[in-house]
Amino acid sequence: MAAGRGARLLRPPTSSGRATFLELFFDLAFVVALTRVSQRFAGLGDDTGWTLVLGFGRTLLLFLALWLIWSHTAWITSRYEPEQPVIQAVVVGTMFAGLIMAVTLPRALEERALPFTAAYLMVMVVRPLVVAAALHGHPRRMVPIRLAVWALASAPLWLAGALGPDDLRLPLWVAAIAVDYVAWALGWPLPWLGASNVGRWRIAGRHLADRYQQMFLIALGESILVIGVVFSGADYSVGRAAAFAVAFATSALLWRIYFYCTGLLLNDALGRVAMPARLGAASERTHLLIVLSVLSTAVGYELVIDQPFGQPRPSWLLFVVGGPMLFLVARVRLEYEIFGRVSRSHLIGLAALLLFTPALAHWAPMAGLSVVAGALALVALLDAFWKWGRPTEGPASPIGGRTSDGGDSEA
């Protein structure tokens, strides 16, 4: 009987594959969070050498913590029925914790470390226990229990970093986030129980694809917000207007390259494979890189619009060129996940950026952004040219198999 009550929490096969309004509402907290991440990255514009590397790593750490909260939530609503009151309460509670993390993020490695940690651990420890209790005696309850046990294992590192000396905070938190990510990659193994076979979980694949696409659009929206805010707040000049236009064109090209054939077929690919969770796990890591690349590119927009013809600063290339290069690398990975191959156009775009990077270190920032836009335009044009007149290609993912067999080692 307990297992029967817990089964009500599971997503039925007839459940809609679209994200609910509650999930879209939940994403609003992460709009704030991504804005704060972008602002922290932008603050590194004048740094060089080890200071730049350290600052980038500190912000990346905070982004990874936020991403883990968001991606776990996407998986929860893909495995459980989001219309159930318990799942709705979990999503709303996570949204509040995510908002706390967002507002404390600018000083999360300084005096606001404790509230940031408390909000993170509230989600990582308490949320899976709530889900496990709601599942009653259902076999699937072991999955959230695994999550809670591993979160408790990393919690002392998080708390020691928040409460201990400032100079130990970063290494302790790096160790803590490493534990959380490695645990997920290994399937949260426990003594005598072994690891959970995440690849065989039963999920709503199309729903998970929808959530990844939405997060990409949120990141892209953040880049548009940066373009508008920076340009509206700066003194008008022809150079800044040109940088504003090129930045917008770059964001439009990122959208085009992501969705052209590959990103558009992510839903179909996750809906067809035998084990959508295996493809979903691979795609989750790919979209982590994609979102990070868009945020980094947006920081490049801010720097260039502010000083389009200022003195060349090699450190700016980390954002102006590094962001788009990371995007192309992640897009190559996504294409392989869906089609089992790699397009020459993306490799050509990467080669072009690598070829120009040494020279861009000595050119004005506007030149760097223009070269990036040109390389992305070349990728988009080559994609369209090589597919012109050819029949529409369907997904043929090498990850997760082709036909659904309904297998699920975790129920």
Highest mean pLDDT among 191-195, 197-201, 243-247, 257-261: 243-247
Report pLDDT digits (tens) over 298-337: 999 999 998 898 888 888 888 999 999 999 999 999 999 9
Tokens standing for residue 204:
């709503």
In single-letter form, the type of residue at position 147 comes to L
Report pLDDT digits (tens) over 344-378: 999 999 999 999 999 988 899 999 999 999 999 99
- Domain positions in the chain are 2-196, 205-387
Length of the chain: 411
Give the span between the Cα atoms of 28 and 288, in whole angstroms.
Answer: 18
Closest by CA to 369, choosing from 248, 231, 226, 258, is: 248
Average pLDDT over residues 293-297: 95
Spell out the residues 6+ positions from residue 312 whose beta carbon is closer than 8 angstroms to its own.
360, 361, 362, 363, 364, 365
Fold of 205-387: I/LWEQ domain (1.20.1410)
Confidence at 403, pLDDT banded by 50, 70, 90: low
CB 270 within 8 Å of CB 399: no
**Rounded mean pLDDT of the chain?**
89
Confidence at 224, pLDDT banded by 50, 70, 90: very high
Q: How far is CA 388 from the centre of its chain?
A: 31
Q: Residue 409 pLDDT > 70, yes or no?
A: no
Q: How far is CA 306 from the centre of its chain?
A: 27
Average pLDDT over residues 155-177: 95
Q: pTM for the whole thing?
A: 0.93
Alpha-carbon Rg for the chain, nearest whole angstrom, is: 22
Hey, is 190 helix, strand or coil?
strand
How many angstroms separate the first and last alpha carbons of the chain?
A: 16
CB 372 within 8 Å of CB 241: no
Provide φ and ψ at 336, rounded to 5°: -65, -40
DSSP assigned state of 18: S
Give the span between the Cα atoms of 406 and 399, in whole angstroms.
Answer: 16
- Other Cβ atoms less than 10 A from the Cβ of 110: the count is 10
